[in-house]
Chains A and B, each alone.
Chain A
Amino acid sequence: MKADLRNIGVIAQKEFADHLYSPSFRMLLGIFTLIILSMSVECGKNGFNIFEFGFLDIAQVITLFLPVLGLSLGFDSVIREKNSKSLNTLLTHPVFRDNIISGKIIGGLGALIFVVFISVIASIGTLLILTGIDVGFSELNRILIFSLLTFLYLSGFFAFSLLISVISKSSESSFISGLVVWINLVLIFGAIVTAASSIITGELIVDLDNNEEAMTMSEDLQKLSLASYYAEAVTGVRVSYGSFGISSGKDTSGIFDTRFGLGTWFADYWSNLVILTGIPSLMFIVSYVAFLRRDI
Chain B
Amino acid sequence: MESMSIELEQNEIVPKTDEFAIETINLSKVFGKENQIRAVDNLNLQIRKGEVFGFVGPNGAGKTTTMKMLIGLLEPSEGSGKVAGFDIVREVINIRVTTGVLPEPAGFYDNLTARQNLRFYAKLYDIKPDVREKRIVNLLETVDLTRAIDQKTGGFSTGMRKRFGLAQALINEPSVLFLDEPTSGIDPLGAQMMRDLIKDLNRSKGVTVFLSSHSMEEVEDICDRIAIIARGKLLAVGSVEDLRDIVRAKEGVHYLLEFQDIPISEAAEAVNNVEGVQALEIQNGTLHVHAKMKLRPEIAKAVKTAGGTVSMFEEEEMNLQKLFLKIIEGV
A interface residues, Cβ below 8 angstroms from B: 1-4, 6-7, 10, 14, 18, 21, 81, 84-89, 91-98, 292
Contacts and interface: CB of A to CB of B under 8 A. Distances in A.
B110 A93 contact: no
Given A3-B93, A93-B125, A86 B107 contact: yes
Interface stretch (B36-44, B95-103, B276-284): B95-103
A85 B124 contact: no
Interface string B77-118: 000000000000000010011001101011111110000000
A93 B123 CA distance: 10
A100 B120 CA distance: 13
B98 to A, nearest CB: 10
B176 to A, nearest CB: 12
B120 A96 contact: no
B7 A84 contact: no
B106 A88 contact: yes
B107 A2 contact: no
B250 to A, nearest CB: 37
Size category, B interface = 35 or more
Contact of A91 (B3, B73, B172): B73
A165 B71 CA distance: 26
A86 B108 contact: yes
B168 A89 contact: yes
B106 A85 contact: yes
A97 B101 CA distance: 17
Nearest to A13: B123
A294 to B, nearest CB: 11
A95 B123 CA distance: 11
B108 A89 contact: yes
Contacts of B7: 1-2
Contacts of A4: 5
21 contacts: A3-B6, A3-B8, A3-B10, A4-B5, A7-B124, A18-B111, A85-B103, A85-B105, A85-B107, A88-B106, A89-B103, A92-B101, A92-B178, A93-B124, A93-B172, A94-B124, A95-B96, A96-B2, A96-B3, A98-B3, A292-B3
B161 to A, nearest CB: 10
B125 A88 contact: no
B34 interface: no
Contact of B96 (A14, A88, A93): A93
A2 B105 CA distance: 31
Contacts of B5: 1, 3-4, 96
Q: Is chain A's binding surface mostly helix, strand, loop or mixed?
A: helix
Contacts of A86: 107-110
Contacts of A292: 2-3
Contacts of A18: 109, 111
Interface string B141-174: 0000000000000000000000001001100100
Contacts of B4: 96
B289 to A, nearest CB: 51
Contact of A92 (B2, B8, B96, B109): B96
Interface string B1-42: 011111111100000000000000000000000000000000
A88 B124 contact: no
Nearest to A86: B107
A87 B73 CA distance: 12
Given A93-B124, A95-B124, A88 B107 contact: yes
Contacts of B8: 3
A10 B126 CA distance: 10
Contacts of B178: 92
A1 B4 CA distance: 9
A289 to B, nearest CB: 12
A92 B103 contact: yes
Nearest to B67: A92
B9 A3 contact: yes
Given A94-B96, A94-B97, A98-B2, A84 B124 contact: no
A277 B78 CA distance: 44
Contacts of A88: 103, 105-107
